[in-house]
Amino acid sequence: MVTTTAPPAKPMARVRAKPKAGMTRKRREALAAYAFLAPDTIGLLIFVAIPMVLAFGVAFFKVDGFGNYSYVGLANYKLMAGDDQLWASLRVTATYVVAFVPIAFVVSFALAMLVRNHFKGISWVRSAFFLPNVVSLVVVGLIWQFLLVDKRGALSKLLAPLGLGDVSFLGTPSLALGTYVVISVWFLMGYQMLVFLAGLKDVPKELEDAAQIDGAGSWQRFRYVIWPLLRPTSFFVVVNSTIGAVTGLQAFDLVFVLTKGGPARATSTVVLYIYEQAFTFNNMGYAAALTTMVVAILVVCTGLMFGFTRGGRFDED
């Protein structure tokens, strides 16, 4: 919400130490506000707003390696229809979202419930769950590459007694995406756990106690007290992790280090594909067109989620 409380009425007989000639107080306040806002607003305009608009412009051009622009109309968009690798990437991102969002939700929610009430060593446990999120995605990628080295890696050795010692988790197209999902969950569960913990703090203990006195078991207390009160938090987590899964750094840094999009493009996310088009193949115009497509998908998705849930309020009838 934008509205704030109005400033309290000024005392009648106030002494103004520095009255500036020809300027009302209101005017001075506005000028000061614009000055305070100028650096960030200008920065956001140049480095966020203008690039957004620019993407829609550049999408109509073909840009060669020397930076020469030639107008091509809708050619870049027509190119998309026959671009099999693009469709493969869209499938990868869609599969990733469908797997990652619910798993991360359930895992981090379970962790939050687990560390909700005090026990000995709780702060170390909370920090431990959050720690993977502190390390960079590049390091995370390298760590798991090492743990998952074929045959000699720690995981292969751990799984050898089960007869799974020869499985190549990052080298098999059908397994690589799942591995990437699991690593992402490991990386992000601590962060989402903290979000849930913050939401759980707002669930009044008295309500739960009252339900318990009324004879509600722990499942019923969860289902009818905690869960409904946690809906805004859950909504935030779902929207946030969906956006993150499609366009977050986890969709680029991690796959870039872990698999470079392979094997057989099984982990080539849309943002990785756009990067390749722009900086490996120098197709800036096409990459810009792809950018506009991702923006459109994002706007439609968040719009739908807000529409379905009425802004996360889940008003009950």
Partner 1 sequence: MKIRFFPILAHVLAIIAVAPLLWILISALKPAEDVFNFGWPSTWTLDNLQYVLLKIPMPRFMVNSAIVAVTVTVVALFFHSMAAYALARLRFPGRGIIFSGIMSTLLVSLPVILVPLFLVAKQLGLLDSYAGLIVPSIFHAFGIFLLRQYYLNIPRELEEAADLDGCGYWRRYWSVILPLSRPVLASLSVLFFLANWNAFLWPLTITRNPDLRVIQLGVSGMQGQYASAWNLILAAAVIAAIPTVVVFVAGQRRLVDAMKTTGLK
| Residue nearer to partner 1 on the CB measure, 175 or 294 | 294
The distance of closest approach from Cβ of residue 199 to partner 1 in the complex, given in angstroms and rounded to an integer, is 16
| Residue nearer to partner 1 on the CB measure, 48 or 213 | 48
Is residue 269 a contact partner of residue 157, using CB atoms and an 8 Å limit?
A: no
The distance of closest approach from Cβ of residue 255 to partner 1 in the complex, given in angstroms and rounded to an integer, is 11
Is residue 145 a contact partner of residue 258, using CB atoms and an 8 Å limit?
A: yes
| Residue nearer to partner 1 on the CB measure, 110 or 228 | 110
| Residue nearer to partner 1 on the CB measure, 212 or 282 | 282
Provide CB contacts within 8 A for 309, sequence distance 6+: 235
Is residue 157 a contact partner of residue 151, using CB atoms and an 8 Å limit?
A: no
| Residue nearer to partner 1 on the CB measure, 87 or 279 | 279
Q: How far apart are CA 166 and CA 152, in angstroms?
A: 9
| Residue nearer to partner 1 on the CB measure, 203 or 297 | 297
Q: How far apart are CA 68 and CA 169, in angstroms?
A: 43
Alpha-carbon 80 to chain mean position: 25
| Residue nearer to partner 1 on the CB measure, 26 or 205 | 26
| Residue nearer to partner 1 on the CB measure, 216 or 239 | 239
Q: How far apart are CA 241 and CA 250, in angstroms?
A: 10
Is residue 190 a contact partner of residue 131, using CB atoms and an 8 Å limit?
A: yes
Tokens at 165, concatenated: 């010692």
The distance of closest approach from Cβ of residue 200 to partner 1 in the complex, given in angstroms and rounded to an integer, is 15
Q: Which residues pair with 69 in a beta bridge?
A: 63
Q: How far apart are CA 11 and CA 16, in angstroms?
A: 11
The distance of closest approach from Cβ of residue 279 to partner 1 in the complex, given in angstroms and rounded to an integer, is 7
The distance of closest approach from Cβ of residue 316 to partner 1 in the complex, given in angstroms and rounded to an integer, is 28
The distance of closest approach from Cβ of residue 285 to partner 1 in the complex, given in angstroms and rounded to an integer, is 10
The distance of closest approach from Cβ of residue 63 to partner 1 in the complex, given in angstroms and rounded to an integer, is 9
The distance of closest approach from Cβ of residue 177 to partner 1 in the complex, given in angstroms and rounded to an integer, is 18
Q: How far apart are CA 317 and CA 312, in angstroms?
A: 15
Q: Which residues pair with 189 in a beta bridge?
A: none
Maximum CA extent, the chain: 87
C-alpha torsion sign, points 245, 251, 255, 257: negative
